[in-house]
Amino acid sequence: MAERSFAKEVEDLRLGEGDTFTGEGILAITKALLECGVGYVGGYQGAPISHLMDVLSDAQELLGELDVRYEANASEAAAAAMLAASVHYPIRGAVTFKGAVGVNVASDALANLASSGVTGGALVIVGEDYGEGSSIMQERSHAFAMKSQFWLLDPRPNLPSIVSAVEHGFELSEATGTPVMLMVRIRSCHVTGQFKTRDNKRPTFTVRDALAAPRSDWSRVVLPPMSYAQERDKIENRWPAAQDYIRENGLNEISGPDHAPIGIICQGGMYNGVIRALQRLGLATIYGDCDIPLYVLNVTYPIVEEEFIEFCLNKSAVLIVEEGQPNFIEQTCGHLLYQSNGQTRLFGKDVLPMAGEYTGQVLFDGIEGFLKKAAPDHLPAQRRAPNQQQESDIPDLSNTVPIRPPGFCTGCPERPIFAALKLTEQATGKHQIAGDIGCHLFASLPPFEIGGSTMGYGLGPASNAAFDGGGDKRSIAIIGDGGFWHNGLSSSIGNAVYNKSDGVIVVVDNYYSAATGGQDVLSSRADNKSKSTGHPIAAAVKGVGVEWVRELDRTYDVPAMMDVLNDALTTEHQGPKVIVASSECMLNKQRRERPLRQQAIVDGRRIDIPRFGVDEDICTGDHACIRLSGCPSLSLKTLDDPLRDDPVASIDQSCVGCGNCGEVADAAILCPSFYRADVVHNPGPIERFLGGLNDGLIRWLQSRRSGRRLEFGR
């Protein structure tokens, strides 16, 4: 169950010649793939392209009609390997995953694909997740494109440019025999716009055709001496062919005045930000008309030498806007200028930050700094002073808005696991704990502060390998069901079995690949029409040789979770010990149940909804419950009571009734201040009668108590 359904939007993928498509960039990419006659598509979910996988999943009926093969791959490596279909056959194929972590996982397959080359167009759609909103380490996909010689497209963030990039990506790949990366940033994925559609096209050569007439070519096998010949082919044939195609088809764009003393070169994905900064400086209009020449690199690798040199000709200075580090484009352009004896002065990371996201204000400051140094006459008079600080019209919120780290959702079934682990450590002492990629990594943050490392998706237990050779305490590793099926079964569990590790591995099973949007995995409990689910994690673990396996089917049972953790840490059994802790992701559960519950209320059916609260008279204000829970619905409340200095715990209306706070309070022997109340909608006649009696009794007791209260006059 993905976080959102695109079933309605998928109908727009059937639009034909001359129609107007309106929607998000993700849907535009899918439509462009169908218009280009793609033969197969695959990938692995991850922001910012998770929705692309969700769209493809919802569009399987249409894909089937067009004879397009779709696969939700087990990992990015599996997706990249799928592109092998385009090596020998003239089939257009596309896969998608998150960069740069997805590129890292897929690197072996991608490197071999780039070496052998392709016959059909092969497109890798990389969701470039760089910047402050990213959930990964800050790296760029550009380095891999350079290393393995993938042509890298970075289109302007509007729908016509994105659609054009998909079409040219396939054609560039086929014209050069080289796979192509199409980089789409988060703004490109979710930008909304329009473009004129064309008819969807059935693949001219399908996977069925390939199976009917198998082909092979030993010259494309990546083995010596063919691998050496492939390397020469990259440089002698593919590279020049790519530069010719880029130039002849005008993939890069030049706009602005024909003659000017300065210019700006930017990545296509940076175009909107650059135009906005120039507009704020009074040098561009909202429609992109600019007083400074712009050279927009919709293809950031390879750089077309002749185009670049011609743009710099007769210019005294040029600014390169390249987000992230290292400054690959700037280095290349500097080298080309040096080789051509060019006199143009190159600006880049000297006026713009070396690292970090190029937000609107960053670009504004950088471009203004460039103009002050290279062409102050282009600036308004009041901004020409070299060191003059202008008051920004955008307020600096860093001093007023508190840092908000990510955390578990309200009612998350993973929170009680870490509450139990924290309580266990109070008795056994602190342990070496390794985390993994996924929601459970939030446990490394307050209030739990459990686990301090993450080495990659599915590698949590493997990253504890150095600690699993003996010691006074056993190490503990956390891995989610998504990471488990991604590569954790072999790289972590199998590795632990093979090396006779003695650590404890907790597999957090929330029924989905929850962190990437709630997509189904092999162990999901839901019925999936197109995928095989219901395969227990415990069975897979036992299948690779783990002998000590325990299953807990309700993670909210904190005492039971503590018992199984204590058992794993103290048992005399030698070898890996695996705990499978299972409860459904609360976010997905609410997405499924809340609409049904609301409809039942509208229909007049009786529905009771559990809610938890805190008795203010009993709460001591110790707040230990918060330190062992961290639920967003559990907060503080200051009482209007001069005798109570400390605020008490309070539960707001976002509570989903999971009961974790009460379980934790009971397990930790904190206090009995938590209570449960069931909110009944559409009660029956007897319930209404008893409710009325109850309300009347409470009012009578309250008035009786008020009457006996001692009051003092002024």
pLDDT tens digits, 16-60: 999 999 999 999 999 999 999 999 999 998 888 888 888 998 898
User: Is the model's pLDDT at 634 over the cut of 70?
Assistant: yes
CA–CA distance, 505 with 577 (Å, rounded to integer): 6
SS3 255: strand
Domain 20-248 has CATH 3.90.1150.10: no
What are the φ/ψ torsions at residue 175 (nearest 5 degrees)? -70, -25
The answer on pLDDT for 668 being more than 80 is: no
List of E strands, 585-644: 607-614, 634-637
AA letter at 269: G
- pLDDT digits over 351-392, tens only? 999 998 999 999 999 999 999 999 888 887 767 666 655 555
Specify whether the CB–CB gap between 611 and 24 falls below 8 A: no
AA identity, residue 378: H
pLDDT at 670: 64
d(CA 110, CA 122): 11
pLDDT of residue 384: 67
Report the chain's C-alpha Rg in angstroms: 30
Give the per-residue pLDDT at 658. Answer: 84
CA gap 96, 81 in Å, rounded: 12
State the average pLDDT over residues 551-561: 93
Q: Where is average pLDDT lowest: 230-244, 374-388, 427-441, 574-588? A: 374-388
Fold of the domain spanning 415-588: Rossmann fold (3.40.50)
Structure tokens at 30: 């899918």
Predicted pLDDT at 612: 84
> Where is pLDDT greater, at 632 or 667?
632
Average pLDDT (48-74) is 90
Compute the C-alpha angle 344/347/352, nearest 5°: 170
Q: What is the pLDDT of residue 713?
A: 60
Which residues fall within 8 angstroms of residue 378, CB to CB, at 6 or more apart? Answer: 262, 283, 291, 292, 371
Instruction: Please report the pLDDT score of residue 277 as a whole number.
Output: 95
Mean pLDDT of the 646-668 span: 80
Q: What percent of the chain has pLDDT over 90?
A: 59
Residue with more model confidence, 426 or 546? 546
With a cut of 80, say whether residue 123 has pLDDT above it: yes
- Which option is the CATH number for 253-399: 3.10.20.30, 3.40.630.30, 3.40.50.920, 3.20.20.70? 3.40.50.920
Average pLDDT, the chain: 89
User: 483, 504, 484: which is closest to 438 by C-alpha?
Assistant: 483
Burial class, 542, CB count within 10 angstroms (exposed 0-12 / middle 13-18 / buried 19+):
middle
| Mean pLDDT confidence for 202-210 | 93
Same CATH topology for 415-588 and 606-706?
A: no
DSSP-based helix, strand, coil % in the chain, nearest 5: 40, 15, 40
Q: What is the pLDDT of residue 620?
A: 79
Q: For residues 72-98, give the mean pLDDT.
A: 94
- Which of the four pLDDT bands, split at 50, 70 and 90, describes residue 691? confident
Across the range 470-496, mean pLDDT stands at 91
Buried b (16+ CB within 10 A) or exposed e, 143-169: ebbeebbbbbbbbbbbbebbbbbbebb
Q: Looking at residues 121-149, what average pLDDT do you find?
A: 87
- Give the pLDDT of residue 213: 92
Q: Is the pLDDT of residue 656 over 90?
A: no
Quick one: pLDDT at residue 673? 83
Higher pLDDT, 137 or 579: 579
Tokens representing 23 are 């929607």
Specify the pLDDT at position 393: 61
In this predicted structure, the answer to whether residue 440 has a pLDDT above a threshold of 70 is yes
Mean pLDDT, residues 207-215: 92
For the chain, domain boundaries: 20-248, 253-399, 415-588, 606-706
What is 606-706's CATH number? 3.30.70
Of 517-531, 602-616, 622-636, 656-670, minimum mean pLDDT range: 656-670
- Tell whether the model's pLDDT for residue 445 goes beyond 90: no
Confidence of residue 709 (pLDDT cuts 50, 70, 90): low
Percent of the chain with pLDDT over 70: 96
